[in-house]
Structure 1
Amino acid sequence: MRLPSALSFLIDEAIDAPDGDAFLTSLAARLAADGLPLTGGALTQAAPHPVIERRIWLWRADTGRVIEALGLAGPLDPGPAQPTNIARNWLGNLGAGSVQEDFAGGRSDGAMLSWVADRPFSETETELLREVARFAAAPLALLAARSTLSALLTTYLGRRSAAQVLAGRMRRDPGETIRAVLLFADLRGFTELSETTDGKDVIAALDAWFDRVAGAVHAFGGEVLKFIGDGVLAIFPIGERDAAAACDAALRAVAAARAGMDHLQTVRAAQGAPPLSFGVALHLGNMLWGNIGTADRLDFTAIGPAVNLVSRLEGLCRPLGHTVLVSGAFAAETKQPLIPLGEHGLRGIAAPCAVFTPQS
């Protein structure tokens, strides 16, 4: 007796599926080849992520393509039924007959496959889908484990470092040279704040600060490399976009972060909390992103003259009376109007640095 194409896929090939998109696309194609009158399908799976609770992949038979929806976690989550409702409502628009199978034993973190057809499923078709659910459990468990590892590494290490770890870089090496716009942002008076404020309130203030600056960086195509105490080191790589575009993105991110902080200051003032002052510096140059540390405890770290300069430049924000400062190297590439503030010596750096600030 010939094994259905869908079961052959699950036994021999599904373990190599890189993600839920590829898994659902291939499985749906096999089921269609087995004669099932599918018009759509959905895969819902738990997502170990600080913001996303579940990921939902939605497949249409008429296009053969998959789109992804997200079920949000935490305060953004409208309710535990949200992911199921997303799949059910979407599939409900594609056909009259449907069957759903939960192949994670009913656990809340399990996966669910849902299918819809242009007619009710026959008893034989329903049994095949139940078999598919049982055989899909193992490859989907592996897919979930891979997703968990990737999400955890990205959450704690950042996208660039996570990719390096997943690729197996586990030894000290000189790293890669990255040409980029560097952003360094730092809270002022954090030591005093931490000594005069309850610990939970300090953490809440730090989280709010990082949300504004890191959120703005990511929104404009940048990447946070490090949280350093109350500071943030981020980059806007030059490569797919030129230096002028990277500078423009960095300035837009800074403007968005300042707007977010202005709103936060209003909220904190209404709560009787002290204001959070900060400084931001931008520089353009080459940095070395290396895997350094001891033989058995490593960390991806940014080093080089450009990193030193941008952190020292931020230290001039308070004495010069400006929230945002940019270097001469940055000013030479940007098309945005800047105000020159003269040349200034930076601690530990031999040559003076031309310093500018945005007009707005």
Structure 2
Amino acid sequence: MQGKPSAAAASIVEWMVGAALHSKPSEETFAQLVEALRNHGIPIDRAFFAHPTLHPLYHGAAFEWTPATGLTRETYGGDVDAPHDILARSPVRHVIVNEVTRFRRRLSGPGAMLDFPLLEDFAAEGLTDYLLLAVRFDGFRTTADDDLKGRSGMVCSFATKRPEGFTDEEIETLDWLRKPLAIVVKIADQRQVALSLAECYIGKEAGPLVLGGAIRRGDFATTRAVVWLSDLRSSTELAMSLPREEFVSTINEFFDCTAGAVEEEEGEPLSFIGDAALAIFPIERLGEAGARAAALRAASRAAEASEEMNNRRRARGKAPLAWGLALHAGELGYGNLGSPTRHSWSVIGPVVNETARLEGITKLIGEPVVASRAFVEGLESAADWRAMGAFPLEGVPRAFEVFAPPARICAREDAA
């Protein structure tokens, strides 16, 4: 920020500080900023801003505003090796690499300079003036573009269709607001990064609890849930016979089928233990019948996905993958366990241990899906499930009744 702000900038920046303090998403603040600028008489007909972030599925987010569409969002960089259109066709890359903070182009008239393909598009749409602003942040940015490595920040642009373009005072107002907007964006992004990482590493239900203050060792609560444990067969042999990269890719593809199905049906994957996935379907949120129905839908979805995966493997001359699944229901505890300074968000209780032991029965009886009486009794179709007998489970003082579904949810191991 340089010099004294205009009356419009001074009014808007006070509101932006409030937005930062009240945890508004950056895109909401940006959309409201554009409306505020228009209300102050600045004729904005297109606005855009983008910033990198830390997320397991993408490397940044971009937002475009027009009067017709309002604000639209696009994520970019899911494939780090694929350059994004924002950088390939617009002045954004030029501004970042050359550390330019203010870049302006007339798009019509004698002074027009259309030196980037995107500017040609804008001129064809009737835009007459274009202003691109940038603020660099400290921090590391991962990208396949060597010129952009280690660079992080925010870019925003404004364009108008007014025949004479922006006035000098309007340009100064927009430029003066560049750093306040960057501060709002950075604060909001740090909140979003914290939430994304918490949800990625802890879970979508546990993550917000931790960010909300449940961080002390011993912070525990009790809930009822359907418990899911799926386990890949012969993973030790796979690990010993495959190159590390191929083994990791295989395990991740398996988790796409199983844990991915859990997420699709509103379940919560809690942990990945080697080649096994532990998940819950909370009864408090889904209801007794709803949690069981969601778990069965997830099992069917996982079976379909794994069959598609195995067809791809067969086409490549690879052996299909077999797996087992156990379903149980009951009360469990969840919260923080660990050393004084290193915690893990965990679930504990007999129902968790029993589910792990129950999954081992799938190998013994050749049924890929098994369930406990506690799970089956809550189903409308309970009478259709096949009683497979009572089996001793390690560490469980009583024989455990095991049931198999009436229809095959997964292919038998010997059919794989």
TM bucket normalised to smaller: 0.7 to 0.9
Contact 1:95 1:116 in 2 (8 A): no
Q: Which amino acid aligns with 1:228?
A: I
Aligned partner of 2:100 in structure 1 is none
Distance of aligned partners of 1:67 and 1:236 in 2 relative to their CA distance in 1, 3 Å threshold: farther
Instruction: Tell me the residue number matched to 2:74.
Output: 69
Amino acid at match of 1:284: A
Residues 1:98 and 1:330: Cα distance change in structure 2 (over 3 Å): farther
Matched, 1:255 2:304: no
Q: Say if 2:282 is the partner of 1:237.
A: yes
* 8 Å contact from structure 2 (residues 8, 173) kept in 1: no
Q: Displacement of 1:344 after TM fit?
A: 1.8
Residue 172 (structure 2) aligned to one of 123, 127, 144: 127
Of 313, 335, 343, which aligns to 1:298? 343
Judging changes above 3 Å, is the alpha-carbon distance between structure 1 residues 47 and 98 closer, same or farther for their aligned structure 2 residues?
Answer: farther
State the 1:303 CA deviation.
0.3
Matches within 5 A, 1:145-294: 145-294=190-339
The 5-angstrom pairing of residues 86-125 of structure 1 reads 96=127, 99-105=130-136, 109-117=152-160, 119=162, 121-123=165-167, 124-125=169-170
* Aligned-partner Cα distance in 1 for 2:125–2:220: 50
- TM-score using structure 2 length: 0.75
Paired with 2:358 and 2:60, the residues of 1 have a C-alpha distance of: 42
CA distance in 2, matches of 1:59, 1:252: 39
Deviations 1:79-125 (A, max 9, x none): 42258989x89x97998456342323496643222345563542232
Distance 1:298 1:27, change over 3 A: same
| TM-fit CA distance, 1:16 | 4.0
Are residue 21 (structure 1) and residue 27 (structure 2) matched?
yes
Is this contact kept in 1: 2:19–2:29, CA < 8 A?
no
Q: For this pair of structures, how many residues does the alignment match?
A: 357
Q: 1:97 to 1:340 in 2, by over 3 A?
A: farther
Q: Does the CA-based 8 Å contact 1:54-1:83 persist in structure 2?
A: no
Structure 2 letter corresponding to 1:33: N
CA contact (8 A) 1:328 1:355 kept: yes
**Alignment RMSD (CA, Å):** 3.2
Report the CA distance between 1:278 and its aligned residue: 0.8
Tell me how far 1:336 sits from its aligned partner: 4.9
Paired with 1:244 and 1:181, the residues of 2 have a C-alpha distance of 10
Q: Structure 1 unaligned segments of length 5 or more: list them.
A: none
Does the 8 Å contact 1:317/1:323 carry over to 2? yes
- Distance in 2, matches of 1:336 and 1:96, equals 63
Question: Structure 1 99/188 Cα, relative in aligned 2: closer, same or farther at 3 Å?
Answer: same
Q: Which amino acid aligns with 1:68?
A: R
Residue identity in the other structure for 2:311 = T
User: Aligned AA for 1:351?
Assistant: R
Instruction: Give the structure 2 partner of residue 348 of structure 1.
Output: 395
Q: SS of the counterpart of 2:205?
A: helix
Answer yes or no: is the 8 Å Cα contact 1:94–1:117 preserved in 2. Answer: no
Q: Residue in 2 aligned with 1:339?
A: 385
In 1: Cα distance, 2:78 partner to 2:64 partner:
20
Check conservation: 2:225, 2:281, Cα contact below 8 A. yes
- Residues 100 and 239 (structure 1), Cα distance of their counterparts in 2 relative to 1, 3 Å cut: farther
Report the Cα distance in structure 1 between the residues aligned to 2:24 and 2:351, rounded to whole angstroms.
37
Q: What amino acid does structure 2 have at the position aligned with 1:30?
A: A
Do 2:195 and 2:207's aligned partners in 1 also have CA atoms closer than 8 Å? yes
Paired AA for residue 347 in structure 1? E
Greater alpha carbon shift after TM alignment, 51-60 vs 290-299: 51-60
**Do 1:44 and 1:83's aligned partners in 2 also have CA atoms closer than 8 Å?**
no
Q: 1:83 & 1:17 partners in 2: Cα distance?
A: 29
What is the one-letter code of the residue matched to 1:348?
A: G
Per the alignment, residue 105 of structure 2 pairs with: none
Identity between Structure 1 and Structure 2 (%): 28
Take 2:125 and 2:211, find their aligned partners in 1: how far apart are those partners?
Answer: 38
Secondary structure (helix, strand or coil) at the match of 1:178 reads strand
- Which entry has the higher C-alpha Rg, 1 or 2? 2
Asked if 2 retains the 8 angstrom alpha-carbon contact of 1:39 and 1:117, the reply is yes
Partners of 1:57 and 1:237 in 2: how far apart?
35
Cα distance change on mapping 1:17 and 1:353 into 2, 3 Å: same
Give the secondary-structure state (helix, strand or coil) at the position aligned to 1:351: coil
Q: CA deviation at 1:20?
A: 1.9
Give the superposition deviation at 1:322.
Answer: 1.1
Which 5+ residue runs of structure 2 have no aligned equivalent?
A: 1-5, 91-117, 138-147, 409-416
Q: What is the Cα deviation at residue 183 of structure 1? A: 0.7
CA distance in 1 between counterparts of 2:190 and 2:307 reads 41
TM-score normalised per structure 1: 0.86
Aligned to 1:253, the other structure's residue is in SS state: helix
Secondary structure, counterpart of 2:402 in structure 1: strand
Instruction: Write out per-residue CA displacement over residues 127-156 of structure 1, whole angstroms, 9 at most, x where no aligned residue.
Output: 322222233222222223333333233322
1:7 to 13, 23, 26: 13
Does structure 1 conserve the Cα–Cα contact (< 8 Å) formed by 2:388 and 2:404? Answer: no
| 2:106 alignment counterpart | none
